[in-house]
Amino acid sequence: MSVETPALVPQPQLLRREAGVFVLDSGTRINMSGGSPAAAAPCADVLRAATGLPLPLVQDELPGNCLHMKLAPDMDSEGYQLRVTPEMVQLLAGDEAGLFCGTQTLRQFLPAEGMPAFPCLSIEDGPRFRWRGLHLDVGRHLYPPDFLRKTLDLMALHKLNRFHWHLTEDQGWRLEIKGWPQLTEVGAWRAASPLPADRHTLDGRRYGSFYSQAEARALVNYALERHITIVPEIEMPGHAQAALASYPHLGCLGEGYDARCHWGISDEVFCAGNDAVFDFLESVLLEVMAIFPGEFIHIGGDECPKTRWQACPKCQVRIQREGLRDEHELQSWFIRRVERFLNGHGRRLIGWDEILEGGLAPGATVMSWRGSAGGIAAASAGHDVVMSPNTHCYFDYYQREDRESEPPAIGGYVPLERVYDFDPVAGIDPARQSHVLGGQGNVWTEYMPTSDQVEYMTWPRAAALAETLWTAAPMLDYGDFRLRLRGHLPRLAGQGVNYCDPFRC
């Protein structure tokens, strides 16, 4: 018996195919050594779900018909070595995340139907970048928790490991904050939304909802079991109109706000001259940090018009008292103040590249979206960066040239091949490339009212992104990726994913 070497996405760094297969059956066991058996439990779950076999976890090293999992602390995080012979499977990894990545490779070997078997081979693998992210905006539209879990499962399948959850927007505040209940009683609801085919006309339908803290905690745990960190984003000082609708005293005008119904950029931002704004943000961030244990808290920082600050007496007093030159420095002062607060609680601040304007907060990490220039500047200045340039990583842009036959999107053009061309360190001095933590695909949802539409825009572009972030640059080959994608798309279909078929004419 023989099987083809299946199409792996992302491609491992080193793969040597050998003759034969290892067949799994009802007697196959999983043995864990070098760590607690619990370390292999998520891996066993993945393989049980994919095969329908019992695959009991056993502590004793018995010969024959066994998947041996072993932790080897001298290996890099997320790295793994896999050896499959007709008699046994051995998976070695530096940590539990590595075991999980190796298990995802094993899972991709399993045939969609027929006898579950792995081809004999050896693999040495590990990621090129440690931040392999996917972002989802739930401010413009939101989706049920079971869809978010499905997205995390798909991320795990592709070895993506950061889920950037964009939780607040002008058009809706989506996370329950117990100390500030109006945020979800008022700020989670808007009176209408633009029509997808005509962004200047509103549909007149009330829209909204939010995630409870219990739902968010459950999602954090679901992600952790898949070695995915959720990075929450609470937008400030801009994209705050829904928060101002909930608590009008936090804006420069002090009254007259509604959750925004149109897309685009709002002039209504948090007042930088009012200390009550920082009391509010700090108490919100305390609740956020209690839910999300990850190192990074994303504070947005993008698209903050200075119109209100220029006319606001409180903001002008702040500029004078703090000796700031202008409103750009006021924004920088705002972000620094929030950074000190986050650092004081053991967290790191990350924000969109506008946080460079007026001077970057000392320890801030920059997420570069307006092309790569912001990320290059920040890395050159010794800051960590995550690259998510709209030239390669914006999955809300059109992916096919013939726009007329596509569902309405925000604009732009980022086809699959462009995503695959993404190189997070392009243009960065080799001495500074270690500051590039990785990259991320962004899914802004103005034109994605349904989870089906999110999937159509995300996959398979996120699969191409996953390979650019995992696989070493010299091995990246778009033609080869497309060949493997033919074998990979049925896996997505098997998960019920509404992907965009790149082979359709």
Which amino acid would we find at residue 6? P
**CB count in 10 Å sphere of residue 78:** 24
Single out the residue of 160, 304, 312, 409 in contact with Zn ion (rule: CB under 5 A): 312
User: d(Cα 67, Cα 280) in Å, to the nearest integer?
Assistant: 52
Parallel, antiparallel, or unpaired: how do β-strands 168-169 and 88-93 relate? Answer: unpaired
Only one of the segments 117-125, 264-272, 281-289, 393-401 lies at the binding site for Zn ion (rule: CB under 5 A); that segment is 264-272
Q: Is 273 in the site for Zn ion (CB under 5 A)?
A: yes
- Pick the closest to residue 487 from 15, 8, 114, 153 (CA basis): 8
Only one of the segments 7-15, 172-180, 296-304, 312-320 lies at the binding site for Zn ion (rule: CB under 5 A); that segment is 312-320
Q: Residue 264 — left, alpha, or beta (φ > 0 → left; ψ -120 to 50 → alpha)?
A: left
Q: Is 252 in the site for Zn ion (CB under 5 A)?
A: yes
Number of residues near Zn ion (by CB under 5 A): 6
- Pick the closest to residue 126 from 79, 160, 169 (CA basis): 79
Q: Tell how many helices (H) and how many strands (E) occur in the chain.
A: 15, 21
Site string for Zn ion, 165-204 (x = CB under 5 A): ----------------------------------------
Minimal distance, residue 187 CB to Zn ion, in Å: 19
**Cis before 237 (ω within 30):** yes
In the bound state with Zn ion, the residue whose beta carbon lies nearer, of 175 and 272, is 272
Lookup: tokens for 439 = 């990259």
Q: Is 240 in the site for Zn ion (CB under 5 A)?
A: no
In the bound state with Zn ion, the residue whose beta carbon lies nearer, of 19 and 317, is 317
In the bound state with Zn ion, the residue whose beta carbon lies nearer, of 271 and 393, is 271
Minimal distance, residue 312 CB to Zn ion, in Å: 3
User: d(Cα 186, Cα 205) in Å, to the nearest integer?
Assistant: 16
In the bound state with Zn ion, the residue whose beta carbon lies nearer, of 77 and 310, is 310
**In whole angstroms, how far apart are CA 190 and each of 169, 376, 450?**
11, 38, 17
Helix ranges restricted to H, 226-366: 241-246, 275-291, 307-311, 313-321, 327-344
Only one of the segments 12-20, 228-236, 307-315, 424-432 lies at the binding site for Zn ion (rule: CB under 5 A); that segment is 307-315
Minimal distance, residue 252 CB to Zn ion, in Å: 3
Minimal distance, residue 351 CB to Zn ion, in Å: 20
In the bound state with Zn ion, the residue whose beta carbon lies nearer, of 133 and 273, is 273
Minimal distance, residue 147 CB to Zn ion, in Å: 38
In the bound state with Zn ion, the residue whose beta carbon lies nearer, of 312 and 393, is 312
Q: Is 284 in the site for Zn ion (CB under 5 A)?
A: no
Lookup: tokens for 85 = 């012979």
Minimal distance, residue 135 CB to Zn ion, in Å: 29
Length of the chain: 505
Parallel, antiparallel, or unpaired: how do β-strands 57-58 and 29-33 relate? Answer: parallel
User: d(Cα 347, Cα 182) in Å, to the nearest integer?
Assistant: 27
| Contacts of 502 by beta carbon, 8 Å cutoff, 6+ apart | 416, 460, 482, 485
Minimal distance, residue 265 CB to Zn ion, in Å: 17
Only one of the segments 75-83, 207-215, 259-267, 269-277 lies at the binding site for Zn ion (rule: CB under 5 A); that segment is 269-277
In the bound state with Zn ion, the residue whose beta carbon lies nearer, of 201 and 307, is 307
Only one of the segments 132-140, 222-230, 231-239, 246-254 lies at the binding site for Zn ion (rule: CB under 5 A); that segment is 246-254
Single out the residue of 8, 99, 175, 271 in contact with Zn ion (rule: CB under 5 A): 271
| Contacts of 101 by beta carbon, 8 Å cutoff, 6+ apart | 78, 79, 80, 93, 125, 127, 159, 227
Single out the residue of 150, 314, 337, 370 in contact with Zn ion (rule: CB under 5 A): 314
In the bound state with Zn ion, the residue whose beta carbon lies nearer, of 244 and 315, is 315
Q: Is 315 in the site for Zn ion (CB under 5 A)?
A: yes
Q: Is 337 in the site for Zn ion (CB under 5 A)?
A: no
Only one of the segments 115-123, 268-276, 448-456, 460-468 lies at the binding site for Zn ion (rule: CB under 5 A); that segment is 268-276
Lookup: tokens for 51 = 């095969």
User: d(Cα 151, Cα 414) in Å, to the nearest integer?
Assistant: 21
Q: What HEC string does 399-417 produce? A: CCCCHHHCCCCCCCECCHH
Q: Is 277 in the site for Zn ion (CB under 5 A)?
A: no
Q: Is 330 in the site for Zn ion (CB under 5 A)?
A: no
Q: Give me the residues that bind Zn ion (CB under 5 A), please.
A: 252, 271, 273, 312, 314-315
